[in-house]
Structure 1
Amino acid sequence: MNARSLQAGMEFDGYRLEEKLHTGGMAALWRVTDLRARHLGKPGLEQAVPPLIMKVPLLYSSDDPTAIVAFEVEQMIMPKLKGPHVPRYFGSGDFDAQPYIVMEQIAGESLRSRFEQAPLPIDEVVSTGIQIAYALHDLHRQHVIHLDIKPSNIMFRNGLAVLIDFGLSRHDRLPDLLDEEFRLPMGTGPYISPEQVLGVRNEPRSDLFSLGVLLYHLATGERPYGHPTSVAGLKKRLYRDPIPPRQHRPDLPAWLQEIILRCLEVHPQDRFDTAAQLGFLLQHPDQLTLTARAGKQQQDGYLAMFKRRLKAAGSEPLLQHTVSEQLAKAPIIVAALDLTHGSEALAEQLRQITRRMLQTEPGARLACLTIRKTSRIGMDDSLIQQGQNIHVKQLVDLKHWARPLQMAADKITFHVLEAPDPATAIIDYAHNNDVDHIIIGSRGSSALRRYLGSVSARVVAEANCTVTVVKNSDQ
């Protein structure tokens, strides 16, 4: 089965597809029925199961590998979430057969529909901000930073904000696949925080910045930073302050401008400490201490902006924080694999060595890598005809290789990297992710000996960690 062939009426994994509700750039949403509730035949059980939707990644609509990785992130995070501010999770399917996530369908419209009516009444802006702030606080208490707060990702149920779409999120106690594999800023242009632009993904106050952007737009009908589409455009928020909201809307209370501009501060430590603190002050503005932000009438002058720009030009990624105390550091082990035809024996030897190493390091995390030697993620015609995506096929092959290791899901990750130079890709991955040990194969003799041998030799010579080279003893 593949994502392109899904049709209404199909049944698999205990679900029946009823109707396609929406097709986005990365996934399609289907209304589904849980057939297991019907088959169990218990009175009232069907009523206990809420309306369900199935999210299915569109593997053939995009050549962007982040879509696949983001879907894996959401599959990892959603089972960990609970409470009224997130959809209930019901199940998921892997890439081996049909990738999907089944979750509760949240009735109603997203916040996006209200943005079209902005500027909104002050009372509605404030009440909306309160609900989102407390939803974020509940999410942060579950060790998750959303990192893609925007109108379409916020729903309302019984007056409570419900956050959806966790493809770009970061869980403090799970591997961050997006941070490990990509170096470009992750987020949505108008709402991404300055630290996200610099590559920081574990700062919970990033969500408060995004909420500040939402409040600014709801209150004024304008975006504080426009709609940038380039990294250079995103970086402007590191030095260019937004037009004060009261310049767009003079009747805006000074205390609300204080809150909005504080959310939009460049440095996280200058914002509110927590989402709960923000929610409380929106409810009790009389307890808010006003600063120069409250009375600000225009953007800072050219000289102040120029100084900030000079400072931003030399900015390094900020000191990173976590939602909770960092877990004790455990070693990261990389198994660098070539899973092409003819390498089965070497792959088995790599698995044996990896198993022995994991037995001596029970707290270790394993990252399984394979390199696709190409300049970009693309489609191969022969594979498309067979209903397969090259990236997905290699991902599935990695998971099949690792299955006998029987590792816990939060202790192993899988990465299909692409680069013209496999050795450089492995070395860069190890450097960027503080890898402690690399296990890599080298064929004893074959037509590819010189090529593969040079990869392992370069990794040994240039990686700043321990490297174990496994040679194929059968050759």
Structure 2
Amino acid sequence: MAKLAVRPGAVIDGFTIGECVHNGGMATLWSVTRSDLSVPLLMKIPRVSEGEDPAAIVGFEMEQMILPRLSGPHVPACFAAGDFLRHAYVVIEVIPGKTLYSRLADLPLPYEEAAAIAGKVAAALADLHRQNVIHHDIKPSSIMFRPSGEAVLIDYGLSHHNQLPDLLQEEFRIPYGTAPYMAPERLLGVRDEPRSDLFSLGVLLYFFTTGVRPFGESETMAGMRRRLWRDPHPPRKWRADYPPWLQEIVLRCLEIEPVWRYPTASQLAFELAHPDQIKLTARSERLQRDPLSTVWRRRFNGNVTQSKGKSDLAAQLASGPIVAVAIDTTEQSRELNEALRVTAERILATLPSARLACLSVLKLGRITIDRTLDDEGNNKHVDRLVALRHWASPLKLDESRLTVHVLEAVDPGSAILEFAAANHVDHIVIGARQNSIRRRLLGSVSAKVASEAVCSVTVVRPPQLASLQEPATAEEPEGAALRAPGSAQGAVR
């Protein structure tokens, strides 16, 4: 590689070098400009002088491979990359503001604020995992926020891409990462486990809500290896008012075995957004660490997940989707609701880690004042919640996999779409109404959802519609993937 002369005013592949904005241990950051790009830019250049850590160079190679393949609001946009044959660099957009590291002086944060931050980071991880990347260095200095509120994950030198060579694993036999945040399986050489990122986020949430790191500041390998068998003190040890729902989330993220953590980052984000519906277990009440008998059994049985060959990241994420079923709780919809339940049961039977969200929309009038009680004096919202639980009871799902939600909105279709987008829903199941003058004039809710949703949609027909075998209309698009008795698949994306 040619020696790179980096100084203000120099031009590298069309980029004019400005000032040095950060002088890090592995790389330097320079402001740069290019005539055809109007956005603020940064050029990241690795340190390659005598005595530099070879892992830093390999990590930069990983970042060069991964960054150009990423897109979306949760990653910095990459505009160019230079290889080591000439000039090694990557050019990325400037994310305004500071990293989450700047909040350390404010710890511990209020519980709701810390949970909201963690929810945004979980959403960013869900998006990253869907792009086949595991970050492997989630910590405060790797997290920023756009002015619009989305979390942005930076620094991909330690990341793993499921479809690219993992140079760090191929060339080194020691784990690289930030010691306080590393998941136990990382110490065993496992780098293709997406739930490692959830462990790191759990460490961050524990730290930001207690002001104490769950595993201390140990940087030695011996100190880090203790987390293979030793769990942290429950957060309630440090703060007596720690919310049970939040301790449930934190300790589930920090489970030693990945299989006991959340199946996906999307499901973690869902829990953080709906704390009132979290199923509390013994984790939420814990005041002490696990007994020494459990610790010794873990230590000598060696039952922490070992690498069993390359995993299929996409298949792992697909096994734990969030499925939303839109249900009309009125008596007239009994046949359709039964068909919806049959369809949902078939979907869930093949996805043992899936979460089911049952939705009902309480329609509001556009100009009228809506009453909260019905003619018999019962609260409409509460009645809908009870009806949704009743609908779901034959499915016999564990409470940790089921939530019910009553949405109040003027436009039911828009309400369902907004819920799906905000909660990273993977699949919507919704019923198709029978033909009516109103549907022909105004269009149907299912047609709106099927045509505008960014996830898969299954439109279920009530039995009388299915038996008529009507051709699909413009309002009710037709598909053919999933079918149940009295149902039809529609608008699969």
TM-score (norm 1): 0.64
Q: Which residue of 2 aligns with 1:32?
A: 32
Q: 1:168, 1:187 within 8 Å by CA — same for their partners in 2?
A: yes
Q: CA deviation at 1:61?
A: 5.9
Q: Which residue of 2 aligns with 1:111?
A: 100
**Are the structure 2 counterparts of residues 98 and 273 from structure 1 closer, same or farther at C-alpha, using a change threshold of 3 Å?**
same
Q: What is the CA–CA distance in structure 2 between the aligned matches of 1:109 and 1:101, rounded to whole Å? A: 20
Report Cα offsets for 1:65-118 as digits up to 9, x if no partner: 111110000000011000000000000111122110001011100000112211
Q: Which residue of 2 aligns with 1:289?
A: 279
SS at match of 1:50: strand
Equivalences, count: 315
Q: 1:54, 1:102 within 8 Å by CA — same for their partners in 2?
A: yes
Q: What is the CA–CA distance in structure 1 between the aligned matches of 2:13 and 2:285, rounded to whole Å? A: 59
Q: What is the CA–CA distance in structure 1 between the aligned matches of 2:222 and 2:191, rounded to whole Å? A: 19
Q: 2:28, 2:47 within 8 Å by CA — same for their partners in 1?
A: yes
Q: CA deviation at 1:227?
A: 1.9
Q: Which residue of 2 aligns with 1:96?
A: 85
**Are the structure 2 counterparts of residues 2 and 251 from structure 1 closer, same or farther at C-alpha, using a change threshold of 3 Å?**
farther
Q: 2:20, 2:29 within 8 Å by CA — same for their partners in 1?
A: yes
Q: Which residue of 2 aligns with 1:180?
A: 170
Report Cα offsets for 1:198-245 as digits up to 9, x if no partner: 100000000000000000000000100112222211111011110100
Report Cα offsets for 1:2-29 as digits up to 9, x if no partner: 5663111111201001100001110000
Q: What is the CA–CA distance in structure 1 between the aligned matches of 2:213 and 2:174, rounded to whole Å? A: 23
Q: Which residue of 2 aligns with 1:81?
A: 70
Q: 1:145, 1:204 within 8 Å by CA — same for their partners in 2?
A: yes
Q: What is the CA–CA distance in structure 1 between the aligned matches of 2:3 and 2:98, rounded to whole Å? A: 26
Q: What is the CA–CA distance in structure 2 between the aligned matches of 1:275 and 1:31, rounded to whole Å? A: 33
Q: What is the CA–CA distance in structure 2 between the aligned matches of 1:315 and 1:162, rounded to whole Å? A: 30
Report Cα offsets for 1:435-456 as digits up to 9, x if no partner: xxxxxxxxxxxxxxxxxxxxxx
Q: CA deviation at 1:186?
A: 2.1
Report whether the alignment pairs 1:322 with 2:312.
yes
Report Cα offsets for 1:382-417 as digits up to 9, x if no partner: xxxxxxxxxxxxxxxxxxxxxxxxxxxxxxxxxxxx
For structure 2, the residue ranges without an aligned partner over 5 or more in a row are 317-493
The amino acid of 1:175's aligned partner reads: P
Q: What is the CA–CA distance in structure 2 between the aligned matches of 1:314 and 1:173, rounded to whole Å? A: 25
Q: 1:150, 1:214 within 8 Å by CA — same for their partners in 2?
A: yes
Query: RMSD in angstroms over aligned alpha carbons?
Result: 1.8
SS at match of 2:43: strand
1:167 aligned to which of 126, 140, 157? 157
Q: Which residue of 2 aligns with 1:140?
A: 129
Report Cα offsets for 1:317-348 as digits up to 9, x if no partner: 4665332249xxxxxxxxxxxxxxxxxxxxxx
Report whether the alignment pairs 1:270 with 2:279.
no
Q: What is the CA–CA distance in structure 1 between the aligned matches of 2:309 and 2:263, rounded to whole Å? A: 15
Q: 1:25, 1:61 within 8 Å by CA — same for their partners in 2?
A: no
Identity level (%): 53
**Are the structure 2 counterparts of residues 253 and 3 from structure 1 closer, same or farther at C-alpha, using a change threshold of 3 Å?**
farther
Greater RCO, CA 8 A, separation 6+: 1
Q: Which residue of 1 aligns with 2:438?
A: none
Q: What is the CA–CA distance in structure 2 between the aligned matches of 1:258 and 1:314, rounded to whole Å? A: 21
TM-score (norm 2): 0.62
Q: Which residue of 1 aligns with 2:234?
A: 244
**Are the structure 2 counterparts of residues 121 and 17 from structure 1 closer, same or farther at C-alpha, using a change threshold of 3 Å?**
same
The amino acid of 1:131's aligned partner reads: K
SS at match of 2:313: coil
Q: What is the CA–CA distance in structure 2 between the aligned matches of 1:155 and 1:271, rounded to whole Å? A: 25
The amino acid of 1:10's aligned partner reads: A
Q: 2:257, 2:304 within 8 Å by CA — same for their partners in 1?
A: no
Q: CA deviation at 1:312?
A: 3.2
SS at match of 2:314: coil
1:302 aligned to which of 288, 292, 296? 292
**Are the structure 2 counterparts of residues 225 and 314 from structure 1 closer, same or farther at C-alpha, using a change threshold of 3 Å?**
closer
SS at match of 1:5: coil
Report whether the alignment pairs 1:59 with 2:48.
yes
